Each structure stands twice: as structure tokens, then as C-alpha cells.
Chain A
């Protein structure tokens, strides 16, 4: 039941990369034609509904499904007593690794309850309503124990992990002797920052539709940021070869990290479909979403800095304590950004974890960088005020010309321009350097700014181009469009690299049948997939060039391949454009309807190398590998604070970023706006409350978990610095997925400080934290 979107609104003109092309899938979306993973009306489809644990710790003593099974239409109830055996589970480290599971435990494999909201049963019935009713009728008898809700509980086991983030980052880092440097520093400051639990809350909740096509072959329509990662996970779970598992995600209603991994409900749905022998669809309810796909963990950061009287950093010591699950050592790696944002000769970081009865937290909207930047960027602001130096100036004094964490040169960095342009757009020069004195009637007005940075993560992927002699092309990559514009920007890249108008291109994604693309996460998709598409197009031109120079009827007969270039769909001599022909003519003469090429986009394979040849030279790759690759930017924020009522409103916003090539001015702007709004949410209102005694959330819905509404957000100004990065990848694209959020909460908090003279280090900055501030 494939449904390829029909695209409209594409520009008929070539030369479109960077142009603000409208979303090619926009019309399908507003017409309700875009099919999300829970919207495939498969024949015989039945409905799965989860029943989740009422307690956070203990055991399921007994589970009575008799009443529920008597409900009409109920087909099956999966519990830990009857879940079909899986080839692997994440319950042991080897299985966890093979699956790539985000959490070291699969519910329904044991009677033990580790966290509130853990699934204890999955009901399958012929309608959603009947499954829901039956789930309510299941009686679970628990032997409850007192749970631990967070690292802040005195009973929590606190430890220093050797590795965090699933082994991807170190629990302890040291560069130089930060303690000694601190001891000798004229200025010393220590500040403690806390961050509330945040949930991703994409508009589209987790959703799985599973259909077994054969006893050993399954297709899964999944709400995921990466079809291949889900495919790999399911093949490990099920013991099936990877090619026997097909995963499809044509449209995604946001992910923000929570759909970056294959979570338990997905494999449980697949197992349910196997048991009932019919396709099963399961959609998480909004409350279930809060305990099914991870979250940003509750955390405390202590940041100590030592500086010279001129404001030069001498030492940075970062400590983080956060909550993790009973099985995993997960903490987002906050310290990375602190280690590299500014020139500082010494650095030290420690992570501490406290085990609690919660599910494992996961990458959430700029994991590590977002809360880490809150700490460093608030502390830099403190330093600026303490020394009476402008906040931009303090950052310039500590400007890192090389990556301090590795000593490597940057592949490109436009942060100075970002500061300058941002300050100009914002009117930073009008800022009164004193805090708490700028007013608008009763309101206190504050300006704040902060630096943003996000790494270009190592990544690779493949794309395929099929060019037809009639002047159309199908371009494919198993990437995901999170709603951010992947369909659109890849159409633009394909159009330009094939010399065709965008409306002659059909870009297909979101299917494991297509060439493998990376997970859309860590801001890698735009850079990697666009480079793959570009390289695949180059492959096509190479093949066509070979045909042309061997074809006696071609004007290019006997030309040297390296002398031939492609211009607007024409193969021609670089030196003499009049000598050449249109690819259509060449293909028609050769009697071929279509020609295929494939290409691999890689991190560090180099823009220039990629442009001049189909593959980057090894020498260039080595050169690229010697560079540190990051995007940089700056956010500027104006707030107006009502000191009596405690309300903080963001009234102006400017973000300027240098992120390599920008593929589409409109979708890129939207992405920065969206990420900044996320950040404003985290800064001012987002917080999931976990009861300290029951280890259970008390506001797990969108009525009580606040995210910004339109009225919270002013007009936003977004600009990009024209940045040419020769090392990143064939398209010179760094990616802007997450940088948009980094630094935002600090920019807001810094503006609040400027307005009120009160430094709030506990996010979110809700009215209760402002009260007590009186106008100066």
C-alpha cells in the first residue's frame, strides 16, 4: 500500500538551491493527502492499545484479563505471560547493542515494574474503542514498592559512570589542570543550574502499523526519524535478515529526538500482529507518549570558571548530576559544548548519575548542547556584568580561533559575523549596560544574547538517481522528512545537479527499499542526503559522458571525460560550450529510456573535491579530517518582565547563523524559528512534573505541559551568514536542525537578568521565580 505524495508548487526554473521554494509536500499536507504512519487503511486492520503500569516499582503479582477478553471484538491480549519469544531483547548488553535499543529493558518480558507507565499489556481488538474499553477492564494486581523518583531523592544510588550516553561520551574529561588554573585565577565564579524534565511532544505521537506479509517478512509503517535504524532494530529483535523487514515513513509529524530510536511499543505491535495474524495499528495516547519514547532528564549543572581581570577564561570545571533509569547510564553530554565554545586553556568535566524508577532518557532537541549552553552562556553573561564588559565583547575576548577541545582548526566559522550582524539587526548598541533600569511603563525591559554552536556529526548515506530520456528524474534516498522540508530541499538539490526544473523531479524517501540514508537526527540529514543526491547525479553524468565520448554521432565523440561538463542538462565541452548536446538526444540515440546513478554523501568528504570529481580525493579527505566541524550562531532576545506579576514575555528575537550552504531560505528560516521557539519553551514554561513519592508524572498532557502558543512568540528575525565550507561534504551543508535551539534559554535568561537584575538559573523561568523582583 505505497502512497507516493503528489507534489505541486515546485518552481519550474532550474538553479533553485538556496531559493525559498515552497514545500513540495505542502499542498498534500493541507489537503489531508499526506499519509502518516497511522493512516494506512490496510485490509483487515485491527487496533492495539497499551495498558500501562499504575505503579513505578514492584511486581505484577497477577493480571486478570478474563473480563477484557469477554468484550466483543477483542482478539488478543499480550502480557509478560504470553509475549512470543524474541530472538534478542535489550535486557542484556549484547542484545541491547545488536538492537541499538535506547533502553536496556523491554516491557512484557518480565513481571518486574521499573517505572510508572511501563506497558503491562497490549490489547488487540477490531476497533480502537473496543481495545480501549478492554484495556480499562484488565485488572492488574501489583506488589508495589516505594520507588525513587529522581537523583535528588536521598535514597538514590549516585555514581560516576565511566561512559554516558550509551557509551558515546566519557563520564570524565580533563584538558590541562583546571583546578590549578582556577586556584591562580583572579576571578572565580561558581553557579548551579537546574533544568526541568522536558518531553519532545511531537504533534504526531508514536505510531506503528505492522503487517506480516509472510511468516518471515514484515512491513512496518512507523513514526520514526530513521527507517533503517528501525529496520535494523526489528531485524535483531525478530531474528530476521534485514531485508525481510521493511520500514516505511512517508511523513512524520515531528520527532525532535524521541523518534530517533526504536522504542518498545514498536516491537510489541509487531509481535501483536504476528499473534493475531492481521495488521495491527497502535498509536500512543498523549499521556502514554510521556512514558514511551524518552525525555530530557532532570539535571543539575555546576559550572565553575576562573578568569583574568580582563575577562579571559583560564579554567572551566563542569559537573552534572542527573537522573537515569535502572538499566542505563544515560546522560546528555552537556560538557562538550562547554569544552569548545571559548578559548580556555583548561577544562574538566564530571558526570554523576542517580538511578531512579524512570524510563531511560534520550536525545531531546539539541541533546547536551541545549542545557550545556544554558550553563556556559549564563556564566559568560555573569562574567561580563561582573567585569563591566559588554556581553558580546566578553565573548570576543574569548573567541576560539581553533577548537579548544581538540586543537584542530575549524573547517569554517562565521561566529564573529553572526555577532556583528545580529547586534546590528537587533539594535544591541542601544542597550543600557546597567541591569534593571530599562522600562516600558510598569514593565522591565531586558536585552540578552547568547552564542549557539552545534557539531557536524560524522555520517554517511546513499542516494539513487534515475534520469529518464523524457527529461524527468526520480531521486531516492531512505531519508526521513520530519516535517522540516527534506522533500523540498532534496528536490532542489536534484534539480540543480541534474539541470532540470524542480517540477521534473520526484524525490522519494522514507522506505528501507530505497538506498540507505542516515537517521534524521543530530542535524545530519540535510548535509548527508543532499551530498548523496549530488553525488548520484554526478554518477549519472559520468555515465552519460562515457556514452557520449564513445558515440560517433555525438558532438563530444572522442572528447576527454575530464573536459566535459554538465550545464543545464547539456553535456558540453568546458572550453567550448557550443560543442555538446542535450542528454535527452544522447539517450534517445542510444535507445535507452533511463539511466541510473548512485552516490554516497559523506561527512568530511569535502565540498570542493565533491564538486570537481565524483569522489573526494583521499588527500582532501585527510585534510578534511584534520578539521573540527561546527555551525555557529548568535541569538538576541528582548524580554519585557512584569515584576509584580512575574510574567516574562519575549518581545523581540534575532538569530543569525553560519551553517555552511543553506539549501532553502524559507525552510531554513522556519527551522531556526521553530528551534528558537522550542528554546523559548524550555526557557519559560516547559517542565514535566514527576511526583517525588510516586515517581509518576502529574501533568502528562498538552493542557498542563505548556509549550509556547502564538501569543508567546514575537516576530522573529532570522539571517544566515554566507558561509563556504570546503571540508564538510560535497554540498558544503552543515545542517541547521538543532543549532536553532542552542543558546536560546541562556539568551532569554540573560535578557531576564538585564531586565530585572535577577539571575534565574532554574529552568523554566516561570512567574514564581520572578516574583520578589522589584523595579529598581
Chain B
């Protein structure tokens, strides 16, 4: 970790000005990603601009749906009655993430910006295109058990490790962003993260100094009847090997609308429109679910150690759909 200065700000304007104005400055919310990576020398920020006093708070029902401030904590959001009742998959995704201590610190905005757990990325002694563009990607031929089978490139196959983003991708969430000029824009969650391509250092469309203000999730039947299933190497406190965020609106055995996103297997939260297409209008049967799962991983490009994820992702998705439709 390098020495850095610290600035606490109370407004979005001050915060964005500080980060755009100071070379190497970054925001800090809960700090559970940014401090971790600084301790590993993966990130070296000259200044940390604390945004915890910025009033990006609140969990409230609006005309567009549920609005959650970017600085709300994972634990508060996960346990909030509106979330539990109307968006169970979001609650489940949050409460199955990390540990209680981390969830008490970590913010919603920070969660969406967490970085990959790829071991090569996290250790500066290794080459890594994401950390040092052009240095190579040892994961392709190395320890890639935890890495992505969907959305990778020859330059990077790092998994987006988070859970929340997967649920938000499934439910058509929209982020509100604000830049240093005070200008706000809306970006659907599915467009917020980008696949690595030849620029794996670029993970989102967020501009330097731009803040996540809030996230809004539209109300829907498939949001109210939804679930998040996470498969991991131990029963708790582990990143997903594969996860499925599914929402279903079933009437008389027919699926009226469906939402599907996969976690742990994609370089970004992996919404599967192909799976949704198969599900929509089809009978809610295991055969339908299997077909949808096959479609969801059709483009998978597994490597040596993560080949099992092709099967696991499908089984996870089918299981989630079975459990949800039986509930």
C-alpha cells in the first residue's frame, strides 16, 4: 500500500470535483474493495475521497420502481421489507454475498464496481492485461477454475464476481450517474458493465470522476416472484462458482414473462435474453427450463479448469426455475 491523502466530502459536487481535480484520486465508500486492492498494490491512489457523507441514501418506492441510494449498505438493502417483499432475488443476492461484517460496510454503488477475484489480477508479480494492459493473460493457460466461460476474450476471462449486479441485470435496473459538471444520465445495468474485449482494463461505462447516485428497479410480477440461487465452494462467504437470478410470471402453467441472469460465469453480470425468449410463452416445465439453460450457455468458451461451469450454470439455472415455479 502506498501513502495517500484522505478527503471527506458532503456533496456530490465536491466529491466529483476532488476526484477529477486530483491526479490518482478515487472515491471511497465502504472501502472493502478499494482498500483491499490498495493493500495489494493493485490500485495505488494518491487520494481517497470519502463519499459516505454524500446523501445518496434512501430505499423508496417511486413511480419508476424501487429507488435505492448508491450509499445504502448491502445489509440494510438486503433486509429492507420492500426489497424482501417485492424483489426477493435482490435481497437474496445481497444476503448471500460476502460476510455480515463486509455487508455492513459495503455500499450498493461500490458493490457494482467491485473488481475480479482473478488471482493473477490480485498479485502484482504476475502479468495481467486488466492490471497492466498488454502484459498478457496467464489465466488462459493457468488457474482459471473460477473464471468466466461467457463474455471472455483472448485477452481476459476475468469473472465479474458480484451477486447484486446479476440480480439487477435480470430485473432491468437502471443506474443514475452524475459527473463533475453535475450532469446526470441514466444507464441500464446491462449496459453499465462491458465485456473485456481487447481492453480488459475498462470494466464499466463510468467516466472518470462520475458517481453512481442510485439504482432504480421497475416493479413487475417477475420481480415479485423471483429468486437468486448461488452455488459456491463452501456454504457461506464465498464467491459464486455459478449463480442464477430468475424471475417468473406464470399463469395457468404458462410463462407470461421471465427474467434470467447468470453470475459467476460471465465477465459481466450475464443477462440471458436467449433463455428468456425460450421461457416466455412456454409451459413451465423442466423441459422448457432445460432448453432455456442450454440457450443461456450456448456461447460458452470454457478453459481447462472451468469446463464444469457449463454444466453447473445450466443445472443452477434449471434448479432455480424449478424451485421458483414450484413455490
Bound together: yes
Q: Which residues of B contact A132 (CB under 8 A)?
A: 1
Beta-carbon nearest neighbor of B124 in chain A: A54
Take A129-B3, A766-B233 as given contacts and tell me if A689 and B119 are in contact as well, using a CB distance cutoff of 8 Å.
yes
Q: Which of A28-36, A78-86, A167-175, A701-709 contacts B (4 or more CB under 8 A)?
A: A701-709
Q: Which of B104-112, B218-226, B234-242 contacts A (4 or more CB under 8 A)?
A: B234-242
Bound-state Cα–Cα, A518 to B124, Å = 41
Say whether B142 contacts A700, CB under 8 Å. Answer: no
> Closest Cβ of chain B: how far from A141's Cβ, in Å?
14
Beta-carbon nearest neighbor of B1 in chain A: A132
Say whether B3 contacts A698, CB under 8 Å. Answer: no
Bound-state Cα–Cα, A55 to B125, Å = 7
Say whether A712 contacts B235, CB under 8 Å. Answer: yes
Q: Mask for B169-212, Cβ within 8 A of A = 1, else 0?
A: 00000000000000000000000000000000000000000000
Say whether B119 contacts A704, CB under 8 Å. Answer: yes
Q: Mask for B137-166, Cβ within 8 A of A = 1, else 0?
A: 010011101100000000000000000000
At the interface, yes or no: B6 with Cβ under 8 Å from chain A? no
Bound-state Cα–Cα, A649 to B231, Å = 12
Beta-carbon nearest neighbor of A713 in chain B: B235
At the interface, yes or no: A136 with Cβ under 8 Å from chain B? yes
Q: Which residues of B contact A689 (CB under 8 A)?
A: 119, 143, 145
Q: Which of B11-19, B250-258, B312-320 contacts A (4 or more CB under 8 A)?
A: B312-320
Say whether B3 contacts A133, CB under 8 Å. Answer: yes
Query: Looking at chain B, what size class is its interface with the partner chain?
Result: 20 to 34
Beta-carbon nearest neighbor of A132 in chain B: B1
Bound-state Cα–Cα, A116 to B234, Å = 28
Bound-state Cα–Cα, A696 to B124, Å = 12
Q: Which residues of A contact B234 (CB under 8 A)?
A: 684-685, 706, 708-709, 711-712
At the interface, yes or no: A647 with Cβ under 8 Å from chain B? yes
> Per a CB cutoff under 8 Å, which of B117, B233, B318 touches A706?
B233
At the interface, yes or no: B62 with Cβ under 8 Å from chain A? no
At the interface, yes or no: A576 with Cβ under 8 Å from chain B? no
Q: Which residues of B contact A712 (CB under 8 A)?
A: 234-236
> Per a CB cutoff under 8 Å, which of B119, B126, B143, B235 touches A709?
B235
Say whether A696 contacts B312, CB under 8 Å. Answer: no
At the interface, yes or no: A644 with Cβ under 8 Å from chain B? yes
Bound-state Cα–Cα, A647 to B240, Å = 12
Q: Which of A328-336, A391-399, A402-410, A767-775 contacts B (4 or more CB under 8 A)?
A: A767-775
Bound-state Cα–Cα, A712 to B236, Å = 8
Say whether B236 contacts A644, CB under 8 Å. Answer: no
Main SS class of interface, A: loop
Bound-state Cα–Cα, A37 to B142, Å = 38
Q: Which residues of A contact B120 (CB under 8 A)?
A: 691, 698
Say whether B142 contacts A692, CB under 8 Å. Answer: yes
Say whether A136 contacts B41, CB under 8 Å. Answer: yes
Take A699-B119, A767-B308 as given contacts and tell me if A693 and B138 are in contact as well, using a CB distance cutoff of 8 Å.
yes
Say whether B308 contacts A709, CB under 8 Å. Answer: no
At the interface, yes or no: A646 with Cβ under 8 Å from chain B? yes
CB contacts under 8 Å to A, within B306-327, are 308, 311-312, 315-316, 318-319
At the interface, yes or no: B123 with Cβ under 8 Å from chain A? yes
> Per a CB cutoff under 8 Å, which of B125, B233, B308 touches A696?
B125
Take A136-B2, A644-B319 as given contacts and tell me if A711 and B142 are in contact as well, using a CB distance cutoff of 8 Å.
no
At the interface, yes or no: A420 with Cβ under 8 Å from chain B? no
> Closest Cβ of chain A: how far from B107's Cβ, in Å?
19
Beta-carbon nearest neighbor of B142 in chain A: A691
Q: Which residues of B contact A710 (CB under 8 A)?
A: 236
> Closest Cβ of chain B: how far from A153's Cβ, in Å?
13
Q: Which residues of B contact A649 (CB under 8 A)?
A: 235
> Closest Cβ of chain B: how far from A135's Cβ, in Å?
10
> Closest Cβ of chain A: how far from B120's Cβ, in Å?
6
Beta-carbon nearest neighbor of B241 in chain A: A767
Q: Which residues of A contact B319 (CB under 8 A)?
A: 644-645
Say whether A54 contacts B233, CB under 8 Å. Answer: no
At the interface, yes or no: A694 with Cβ under 8 Å from chain B? yes
Say whether A644 contacts B1, CB under 8 Å. Answer: no
Say whether A645 contacts B235, CB under 8 Å. Answer: no
Say whether A133 contacts B308, CB under 8 Å. Answer: no
Q: Mask for A648-690, Cβ within 8 A of B = 1, else 0?
A: 0100000000000000000000000000000000001100010
CB contacts under 8 Å to B, within A104-147, are 116, 129, 132-133, 136
Bound-state Cα–Cα, A600 to B261, Å = 67
Beta-carbon nearest neighbor of B238 in chain A: A706
> Per a CB cutoff under 8 Å, which of A116, A136, A694, A768 touches B145?
A768
> Per a CB cutoff under 8 Å, which of A54, A684, A708 touches B125?
A54
Beta-carbon nearest neighbor of A442 in chain B: B319
Say whether B123 contacts A696, CB under 8 Å. Answer: yes
Take A116-B125, A691-B143, A712-B235 as given contacts and tell me if A645 and B316 are in contact as well, using a CB distance cutoff of 8 Å.
yes
> Closest Cβ of chain A: how far from B135's Cβ, in Å?
13
> Closest Cβ of chain B: how far from A47's Cβ, in Å?
14
> Closest Cβ of chain A: how far from B3's Cβ, in Å?
5
Bound-state Cα–Cα, A766 to B2, Å = 37
Beta-carbon nearest neighbor of A644 in chain B: B315
Bound-state Cα–Cα, A689 to B117, Å = 14
Bound-state Cα–Cα, A323 to B258, Å = 51
Among A697, A698, A708, max chain B CB count under 10 A is at A698
The 7 closest A-B pairs by CB, nearest first: A698-B119, A711-B235, A54-B125, A768-B308, A711-B236, A644-B315, A698-B143
30 intermolecular pairs with C-beta atoms under 8 Å apart: A54-B124, A129-B1, A133-B3, A136-B2, A136-B41, A287-B123, A645-B319, A647-B231, A689-B145, A691-B120, A694-B126, A694-B138, A696-B123, A696-B126, A698-B119, A698-B126, A700-B123, A704-B119, A706-B234, A708-B234, A709-B234, A709-B236, A711-B234, A711-B235, A711-B236, A711-B237, A766-B233, A767-B233, A768-B145, A771-B308
Instruction: Known A-B contacts: A692-B142, A696-B123, A700-B123. Give 6 more (CB < 8 A).
Output: A129-B3, A132-B1, A644-B318, A697-B119, A709-B236, A711-B234
List residues of chain A with CB under 8 Å of any chain B CB.
53-55, 116, 129, 132-133, 136, 287, 644-647, 649, 684-685, 689, 691-694, 696-701, 703-704, 706, 708-712, 766-768, 771-772
